[in-house]
Structure 1
Amino acid sequence: MKQKLFFTILIVTFALSGISHYAGFGPIIEFIFSAIAILFVAGFLGKATESVAHYAGQRLGGFLNATFGNAAELIIAIFLVREGLFDMVKASLTGAIIGNLLLVLGLSVLLGGLKFKEQRFNIQLAGHNASLMILAVIGLFIPAIFVTSEHFTKEQDEFLSLTVAGILIVAYILWLVFSMITHKDVLAEMEETSADHGEEPAWSKGLSITFLVVATAMTALVSEWLVGTLHTFTTDFGLSELFVGAFVIAIVGNAAEHSAAVMLAMKNKIGAAVEIAVGSSLQIALFVAPVLIFISALSGNTMDILFTPIELAAIGVSVFIAKSISKDGTTNWYEGALLLMVYIILGFAFYLV
């Protein structure tokens, strides 16, 4: 019954979004319908991914969850790159990183902690994640400092951006090799993050793959419709591209991670919730952002990897508190509240820009 209701709402919201786009209802109406639609489309993508991951095995399943969980953000960002809205792209990437580390992880830890006094997860994996998060901050921080202080030319800026992007992608690929192949046994105790969590998949293998393809296509369509309305939306409501990219787009694009991580934490599967939240942030910083640099270069207009001081500060404080809270391998509801407080502080600061 719940599944039937979900599919009904999914189809209705997707249809309304498409009708408002092609019938010319106006950018504001189209934005509202598209934002609502992408919430359910992202949820559908999350359900399909989880079902496919059940058949793929633990480590590959976790990778699929992270990859397709970030599909909405990646697709939205690609359309933004095509439109040349580089500032909004960087803001949305910033929002995705801090949204996963503060909002998704914060809600998971808070709600899971209210149900279970203390929750534990793999402390060794937490340490590796912390090191990777620091690497991501370094990769974003160094270009910003050197390019601005040394007044690099446009050619030097592009060369450094492409070089750093390539190194970050290599670092992410090496992490996949480390966690899935060479040190797979070391991380084997993270069985609670397996795709199925001891539950039966929602659909058969064939239907799961079909739904995954359909959900990805739906995400691409709604993302394109949503991006087309952003300029009018920001202008009419007097909002900065930084706020819209870092919070509005990021919250909408993170819908799949929001629901999945919180539900797992409330089932006392905090390790899985942490892997979704932190793993998604790492994939955004080490893979999605660098890939967008190369995509923009192929289009003839290279987007640099220079984030603003505001964006770097937001990412830096998010990584700092997330690392501080996760380093001991245990969580409680108060730590979740602290993460959410930092997110609210950043939200008000970004809104006033």
Structure 2
Amino acid sequence: MGDRNTNGRPAGDGTADEADERTPLTNAASSLGNMGSIRNMGKNSKGKPLYEDDRAWVRWPMNFLHLTWATLASNYVNVLLVFVPVGIILGALDMNPTAVFCVNFVAIIPLAALLSFATEELSVKLGQTIGGLMNATFGNAVELIVSIVALTKGEIRIVQSSMLGSILSNILLVLGCCFIASGVRRSESTFNATVASTMSSLMAVAATSLIIPATLYASLTHSASSSEKNILILSRGTAIILLILYCLYLFFQLKTHAKLFDAEAETGEDGEPAEPAEPEILGPIPASICLVIVTLLVAVCAEYLVGSIDAIVESAGISKTFIGLVLLPIVGNAAEHVTACVVAYKNKMDLAIGVAIGSSMQIALFVTPFLVILGWIIGQEMTLHFQSFETVVFFLSVLVVNYLIQDGKSNYLEGCMCLGTYIIIALAFYVYPDDAGDIGSMVKGFFVQ
């Protein structure tokens, strides 16, 4: 390919850090040793690579192979893509439910990484505003697809626990790992406290939107009114308000206060202009095609995954709540987890905070309300009335995170606090049975005389 690389820039251009930030786990094919030789797929008689040949019948198929390799080589975790066809075949043949669950569980991990990669590539051309919307939508695409599939099957508990689990894994597990990753190289890291405080305040609003339905349910225990109907009306109205707040936040972040959120992008750690953005590997059309294909594959794998959950619950004795709250979010957020840790290790804490807390905020203010509205449309009574135990856990987690980030500084000990809190919560939900009663009925005496 001469003296130019896949991105079209001189081979020696760019730094090692730029290459490292290309993907969550590591760089693309150039770091894969002899495997990268496939990228030099030969030249024509004029010395051009075959994917730039003047003949369309040569250029198009070779360009397809070239872009496919660049996409597959974008992340080491893509070796797990072999589980995708295996999981689909096992599900289609109605094989052992445990095997179907485990294989599709693993298959979703590389698909989530490909979704993240394609979204980043598409955002390069679309600009900041539309790119931000794309990241907001596809950054949590796996959780959204799995939840939509579960919602259509009437698995409301799976939907609620996976939403809550995604939030908790981001604000505790991911944030804790970011603090530790940064803390192993420096005694203290700093980040924009104003931005972090804004995000955490919105998370507090989201926590309030879950506490109110739980409290109302406890208050209506002895009322003649239908508590389910009243909770449904409250949830749908609250969902609309949360969606409006999310749109206002996007306008705040991308338009009116964009400089506040772009402070790290404009200048580096030493006050000098930040390094230029990495050029794209995929153009808008290939990235869009990749998004569509990967989204369809995630939907198919999610279909078989959710369909096998009941058999897993019966055979393994694991509750649906634990599966939805701990296992599914770890898979869906795997790519984001690694991305946040990598940038935190490089002391780009504002970006790491944006990935961790920002993703949680998108789940709380956009995905969960959207699922309530979708349930309203398709006739499923999805509400914001979570189990009171889950609501209390969520509120306490938001409280802990608010205390840790309010000073705009972090260290490894604070990261260990977040991790410890998450492990305690995971253990609590591991022993929490699906048929546990709502603690609202236990404390109704505080509200009803």
User: TM-score surpassing 0.5?
Assistant: yes
Post-superposition offset of 1:189: 1.2
Post-superposition offset of 1:63: 4.1
Post-superposition offset of 1:112: 2.2
Post-superposition offset of 1:92: 0.9
User: Contact 1:53–1:61 at 8 Å: present in 2 too?
Assistant: yes
**Paired letter, 1:173:** C
Residue in 2 that maps onto 1:27: 97
Question: Could you tell me which of 407, 412, 415 is aligned with 1:328?
Answer: 407
Structure 1 residue runs of 4 or more that deviate by more than 6 Å after TM superposition:
none
Higher normalized contact order (CA 8 Å, seq sep 6+, divided by chain length): 1
1:36-65 Cα offsets, whole Å, 9 max, x none, are: 100111111111112222333345434433
Aligned to 2:261, the other structure's residue is in SS state coil
Q: Distance in 1 between matches of 2:162 and 2:143?
A: 8
Q: Distance in 1 between matches of 2:134 and 2:266?
A: 16
Question: Could you tell me which of 314, 323, 343 is aligned with 1:235?
Answer: 314
Query: 5+ unaligned residues in a row in structure 2: which ranges?
Result: 1-28, 33-71, 269-274, 433-449
Which of the two has greater helix per residue?
Answer: 1
Residue in 1 that maps onto 2:191: 121
Question: Could you tell me which of 163, 173, 180 is aligned with 1:110?
Answer: 180
**Paired letter, 1:345:** I
1:238-283 Cα offsets, whole Å, 9 max, x none, are: 1111111110111111112112211221222221111011111111
Residue in 1 that maps onto 2:86: 16
**Paired letter, 1:182:** T
Q: Distance in 2 between matches of 1:193 and 1:317?
A: 35
- C-alpha distance 84-322 of structure 1, shift in aligned 2 (>3 A): same
**Paired letter, 1:265:** A
Aligned to 2:361, the other structure's residue is in SS state helix
Query: 5+ unaligned residues in a row in structure 1: which ranges?
Result: none
Residue in 2 that maps onto 1:183: 257
The number of residue pairs the alignment matches comes to: 352
Question: Could you tell me which of 214, 230, 242 is aligned with 1:168?
Answer: 242
Post-superposition offset of 1:164: 0.9
1:128-172 Cα offsets, whole Å, 9 max, x none, are: 112101100111111110122124513222111111111111111
Aligned to 2:312, the other structure's residue is in SS state helix
Matched, 1:213 2:303: no
- C-alpha distance 303-270 of structure 1, shift in aligned 2 (>3 A): same
TM score, norm. by length of structure 2: 0.74
User: Contact 1:110–1:337 at 8 Å: present in 2 too?
Assistant: yes
Larger Rg: 2
Matched, 1:297 2:367: no
Q: CA RMSD in A?
A: 2.1
Farther off after superposition, 264-273 or 92-101: 264-273
TM score, norm. by length of structure 1: 0.93
**Paired letter, 2:325:** A
User: Contact 1:53–1:64 at 8 Å: present in 2 too?
Assistant: yes
Aligned to 1:24, the other structure's residue is in SS state coil
User: Contact 2:195–2:260 at 8 Å: present in 1 too?
Assistant: no
User: Contact 2:216–2:231 at 8 Å: present in 1 too?
Assistant: no
Aligned to 2:263, the other structure's residue is in SS state coil
Aligned to 1:301, the other structure's residue is in SS state coil
